[in-house]
Every structure is written in structure tokens, then in C-alpha cells.
A and B are shown apart, each in its own frame.
Chain A
Amino acid sequence: MEHKVLISFEDVTLGYEGQPVIEGLNFTIEKGEYLCVLGQNGSGKSTMMKALLGFLSPMTGKIQRAPYLKKNAIGYLPQQQPSQADFPASVKEVVLSGCQAKKRFCPFYTKSDKELAARNMELMNITHLKDRSFRELSGGQKQRALLARALCAAEDLILLDEPTAGLDPVVTQELYALIERLNKEYGMTVIMISHDLTNTMQSATHILHLGRRMLYHGTVDAYDREKILSEERKAGA
């Protein structure tokens, strides 16, 4: 595998209990990419994401990871969960919990964990909120705290699952700007699942469009929106 390739899918079929959900996945994710994953509900987006995270093994085909990309080095930002709405935890506790990926067995957070958490809180502009309760934060602040946590777990790659769902337009723009900055300034590889085509087209470098199979994978510039959407409609019919 080339050094720049982080993850490659070779003819991958994914599914549950012998039933394929999505077929014919053939693509690579390279270092420094900003890949946006598009597709309607039921298109296989979340199934593909589970495979990326290693929760699901392919039915056929092969998923390869660059050897230096450690097994759990993906910083994951899951969809918002209702159980977190009333969770009693300080922002600092939440961000620090991203650090537990790195250690085998250590009951406490080390000094370097705390420094990493502090750095990522600074990066996400939430240092002033660190002693606040997570449940008292606004939607945008919560997402920034969870993004800081993902950064504690990840060195090279973050995976965001509809990070702007339920946020107002202004906050959505701020979050996209932060993500773009992570990609452009810090060289973080970003994979983002999104419904929001217009906004992501502005900052993403690549697009992966799914609809029970791979409808498109390539650069944003070569993406012919109308053609893919008509294919998607045909596939859906």
C-alpha cells in the first residue's frame, strides 16, 4: 500500500446476518483528505461507518488500514444521543474520556492526558467552559466538546456522523469552519457523514455518495450532482 493511503476498501460488501446492505465499495482514503459521505436514509452510510470503525467485518472483499494507523486511532463523533441530555459531567471530564483509548490499563489520567485535553479544548474554544456541566451547554458547545474528545483519541483521522444535526445555521457555519481548519491547518484527515450537500461541497475535497452501492467516489470538482441524484432516484425506484 502506498504510504499516503490510510484506509482502502476493495470490493467490499457489508451487511447483517447474510443480508447485504451495501455492495461494491471500492475506494481509498488518503492522508489529508476531507471526505464527505452522502446518501439517503437506508443507503448504507451508517453500515459503512461501522465497518470503518471496525465494529463490522466485511461479508466479502477486504478493508485495509495503513500499518501505522493504529487500530483505535479514529476519533469518532457519534450522532447525538438523547441519554446525554441530562448527563452530570463536567466538560473537562467529557474531553478527558477521549484519552482512555491510548492506555492499556491505567486507572487514572496522566499529566500528558490532561495536557492533551487542555490543548484540544483550546483548539475548540471551550477552555472557558471546562468546569461547566455538559448538560448546561448549548448544542454547538456540546458538539465542540465532543469534537475535542474525538481529537484526544485521534492522531490522524476523525470520523464525524452528522455533526451539525439540530444546530442553527450560524452555529452550523462555525462548526464547519472549525472542522475545515482542522483539515487545512492541522492536516487532520476528516470523514464526515452529512445530509448537508451545499455546505460540505464548499470545504470537502472528496465525495463518497452511497445508495445501496457506490454511486460516486472522487473529487468534489468532478462531482456531477444532477447526474448522481438522478441515478440515486433510479436506484431508489
Chain B
Amino acid sequence: MEIVISLETLFSENMGPLLLKAFVVGLLTAICAAMLGVPLVLKRYSMIGDGLSHMGFCALAIAAAFGVSDDKQMLITMPLVVISAVVLLLLSESGKIKGDAAIAMLSTGAVAAGYVIYSVANKGAGDVCSSLFGTSILALKSTDVTLSVILAVGVILVFVLLFTKIFAVTFDNAFAKSAGTNASLYNVLLAVLTAVTIVVGMKMIGSIMISALIVFPALSAMRICKRFKSVIVVSALISAFNFTLGLVFSASIQFHFGHQVSALPIGPCVVCFNVFTLLLCIGVKAIADRVKGKKAVTKGENA
């Protein structure tokens, strides 16, 4: 095996525009996922992202079975995933089924159904693999770019204009309700935005990988920030940085096995960088706590 690192693809004439497209779509969805991840993780809803992304796999299978072309498949995946987001939320809010059980059922059920549908439609393992772990950036269309721009503007506007409400329903749903905030409305809004983010992002990042973009940056940011606002901003920055790293990494490193050349997929690369960041943040936090603890001890001794 030979590892070839070259930045040529980044600047080559035929790959340049494609990479730019991938950069815009990926960066924007990574930022949206990271921002939405903060309230989801804090509300103990982080599994919602996971449930929805498995549902996304099933939806991709249905689109593939009907032979829907790449640029139209969102007409099928978008409504399916958005509807399951709302159903999941209402189910867990009504208390009839516990949220984690609802999501576990949806995840496994959807993946099983998706795989069956792929098999019935006589699609090969390649299709299954690419819908789980992300396709090549060659499949991105200009509709993906438009959608990701609309999504990003929407998510950022919601977070700026409704910041106080999002804080209130995240921190204490019962209090927010008692104070007259329509908590269910904001919960549904967050779930629907998450669903849209997953649908827009899963084509490139992969349906299984996309939910990692929801939890990892939020968890990393929570380790090092103390305020809600700064957690959201830092989460978005971490996610943007890791996506960029992942994209450059996967575009510039190739593995040569004799005559066979294989490149790294983007999705898993981005997720790996996010895992490293979380470990780093946990480490930084542990060191900071220890230093603080030592200071407190010496203070105590002096007093």
C-alpha cells in the first residue's frame, strides 16, 4: 500500500467547482447540525437525530426503488423524514411511549425496511453503502447548494430571533409552558429543522454519519463553554472547522493498492475529526479542573 498526499485535486480544473459545491453544502449543513445539536443534546433528544437519519436511509431506499433521479429524490425523502420528526416528538411528549424506545424502534425498523426495499429493487451493496456513509461529491447538484443556503439562513434566523424562547424551552420546558410560551411549537420547530438538515446533509455525509454532526460539536462545546450562547457559537465553529479539515483530508489523500486507487470518503473523515475534537475538549476540561482544584486547595491552606 502506498499513501499519496497531493493537493492537486483541490486546485485541479475539473474538481475545483465540484469541491466548491461540496464545501458550501457541507459547511452550511455542518453548521446547522451543530447549532441544532445544542438544544437537542441538552433536552436529552440527541437520539432524535439518530432516529431521523436511519429514517433518511429508508427514505433513500424508497426513492431508489422508484427510480427517482438524484436531483428529485428530496421530494420523497424530505416529507418522509419531516413527518417522522413530528411523529417522534409528539409520541414522546404524550408520554405514551418513552422517547428513547420510540427512537430505537424507528431506527432499527427503518434500517431493516430500507435494506429490504433495496434488495427488492435489486440495488447492489454499493447503493446501500453510499446512502449509509455518503456518496462521492460528484453526485451533488446545484439544488443541493440552493437548499443548503436556504436552510442555513433559516436556522440562523431562528436562533437569532427566537434565542430567548429556545433557551427557555431547552432549560426548563415546564416553566416555559407555565410562563405562556408555546413550548410544543418550538419543540416541533427544532425537530423539523433537524429533519431538514439531515435530509440536506445525508447525501454527502451519509445518513448514518450525519447524526454525529449533531451530537459531537455540541458535546465538545459544552465541555469548554459555560454560557448557552457561547456553546452554540463554539459548536458551530468546531463543526465548520472539522468539516473543512475532513474535506481537505479526503480530497488530498489517496491510497494506492497496486493499480487500485481508493480515496477516503468525506463523511467518516469529518466524523473522525469531530471525535478527536471531543477527546481534546474532554482533556482540556480535565486539566482545567485539576488546575482549578489545586488553586482551591492552596487557597484553602492559606486561609
Contact = CB atoms under 8 A, between A and B. Distances in A.
A83 B176 CA distance: 15
A45 interface: no
B172 A78 contact: yes
Given A100-B168, A107-B164, A109-B164, A71 B231 contact: no
Interface in A73-130: 74, 76-78, 81, 83-84, 86-90, 93-94, 96-98, 100-101, 107-109
B222 A89 contact: no
Given A55-B177, A98-B179, A101-B179, A133 B226 contact: yes
Interface in A35-84: 53-55, 71-72, 74, 76-78, 81, 83-84
Nearest to B231: A88
A87 B171 contact: yes
B175 A76 contact: yes
A101 B181 contact: yes
A153 interface: yes
Interface stretch (B58-66, B69-77, B155-163): B155-163
A86 B230 CA distance: 15
Contacts of A209: none
B227 to A, nearest CB: 5
Contacts of A90: 226-227
Most buried by B among A74, A97, A98, A101: A97
B129 to A, nearest CB: 37
B4 to A, nearest CB: 43
Interface residues of A, number: 32
Interface in B155-194: 160-165, 167-168, 171-172, 174-181
B96 to A, nearest CB: 11
A107 B175 contact: no
Interface in A186-237: none
A93 B161 CA distance: 16
Contact of A72 (B165, B180, B231): B180
Contact of A107 (B161, B171, B176, B222): B161
A159 B179 CA distance: 12
Nearest to A105: B161
A107 B44 contact: no
A78 B231 contact: no
Given A78-B174, A89-B228, A153 B179 contact: yes
A interface SS class: mixed
A149 interface: yes
Contacts of A72: 178-180
Interface string B219-256: 00010011111110000000000000000000000000
A101 B172 contact: no
B180 A84 contact: no
Interface string B7-50: 00000000000000000000000000000000000111000000
Nearest to A107: B161
Contact of A89 (B43, B165, B227): B227
B67 to A, nearest CB: 45
Most buried by A among B42, B172, B225: B172
A84 B228 contact: no
Given A78-B172, A88-B227, A53 B222 contact: no
A188 to B, nearest CB: 16
A88 B225 contact: yes
A90 B179 CA distance: 20
A93 B178 contact: no
A107 B162 CA distance: 6
Contacts of A97: 164, 167-168, 171-172, 175-176
21 contacts: A53-B178, A54-B178, A72-B178, A76-B175, A76-B179, A81-B174, A83-B43, A84-B171, A84-B172, A87-B228, A88-B226, A88-B228, A88-B230, A90-B227, A97-B171, A101-B181, A107-B162, A107-B164, A108-B163, A133-B226, A153-B179
Interface of A: 53-55, 71-72, 74, 76-78, 81, 83-84, 86-90, 93-94, 96-98, 100-101, 107-109, 133, 149-150, 153, 159
